[in-house]
Amino acid sequence: MTDNAMPSVADRADFEVELDELRVREKAHSREADAIAAARRRLPMVEVDAGITVTGPDGPVTLLDAFEGRKQLIAYYHMWHTGHPAAEQCPGCTWCNGAVGELSYLHSRDITYAVFCQGPYDESRRYRDFMGWTMPWYSAVGSLDQLLVGRTIGQMYLVCYVRDGDRVFETYWTTLRGVEVMDNSYHLMDLTVYGRREPYEDSPAGWPQEWDMSLIPHILSTNGRPIAQWSRLEAGHSDDLTAR
């Protein structure tokens, strides 16, 4: 990056002309996203055993119970490194779940959001509490082979379910960059002139791109920790995940 890496300067009229040209592409992108969402709503579904258990604060509950009586369930499968300290837990999953705050809008559409952690309940729940998250939290250990059939255990996933009475069906799932739908920070970065500052982006010469995607998970960490942990530590939250 050079000290003067900036866009060219234009007057207001020329700026608006080029912005209007970009708007045409943005609107086409929005329409295509709407079309993809429409196709997603028309996918077939596959039945899942509603009696598969996950562990919550009161012990084992069924997948059906995790709906909390609502029609739909979005489950985020949080990666976990059992026995490792908070500083070594997944920066990507910390990034994703850190963007989930207000759940009332999902609830108004009859959707429950919950985390199905791929690690033990007590240890991972302490991480949830350290981060100050409030979403329902379960451990899916022991049931991952059934819940993630055909997928690689240990990766991050969003999985969508719908129920018909006491029957549960899986309707959609995504992984890797698909989980970006959870994050507002990246979407806001994409609106700025420097973008995400990551080398894979197509940017003009000299643009800052110091957040190297090849160094995952370091693009979501600073000073050896997931970025979001530092504010919790500064606020006096304990990151001790050991039994107590």
Look up residue 68 and give its two tokens: 């909390």
pLDDT for 216 equals 58
Closest of 125, 107, 111, 118 to residue 59, by C-alpha: 125
More confident residue, 76 or 243: 76
Mean pLDDT of 187-211: 92
**AA letter at 145:** D
By CB atoms closer than 10 A (0-12, 13-18, 19+), residue 113 is buried
Query: Is the model's pLDDT at 124 over the cut of 70?
Result: yes
Query: Is the model's pLDDT at 177 over the cut of 90?
Result: no
User: pLDDT tens, 158-174?
Assistant: 999 999 999 999 999 99
Strands (E) across the chain are located at 46-48, 53-56, 59-62, 72-78, 111-117, 137-139, 157-164, 167-175, 221-222, 225-226
Where does the pLDDT of residue 215 fall: very low under 50, low under 70, confident under 90, or very high at 90 and above? low
Query: Is the model's pLDDT at 126 over the cut of 60?
Result: yes
Stated pTM of the model: 0.93
The mean pLDDT value of the chain amounts to 94
Query: Is the model's pLDDT at 185 over the cut of 80?
Result: yes
Cβ–Cβ under 8 Å, residues 107 and 68 = no
Gap between the Cα atoms of 63 and 177, Å rounded: 26
Query: Is the model's pLDDT at 15 over the cut of 60?
Result: yes
What CATH superfamily classification does 46-178 receive? Answer: Glutaredoxin (3.40.30.10)
User: pLDDT tens, 33-56?
Assistant: 999 999 999 999 999 999 999 999
pLDDT for 176 equals 82
Q: Please report, for the chain, the start and end positions of each structural domain, with discontinuous segments joined by +.
A: 46-178
State what percent of residues in the chain have pLDDT above 90.
Answer: 86
pLDDT for 154 equals 93
Query: Is the model's pLDDT at 219 over the cut of 90?
Result: no
Query: Is the model's pLDDT at 1 over the cut of 60?
Result: no
Output the CA torsion sign for 41, 45, 50, 53.
negative
Q: What are phi and psi for residue 107, nearest 5 degrees?
A: -60, -35
Look up residue 90 and give its two tokens: 């997944």
Gap between the Cα atoms of 118 and 154, Å rounded: 7
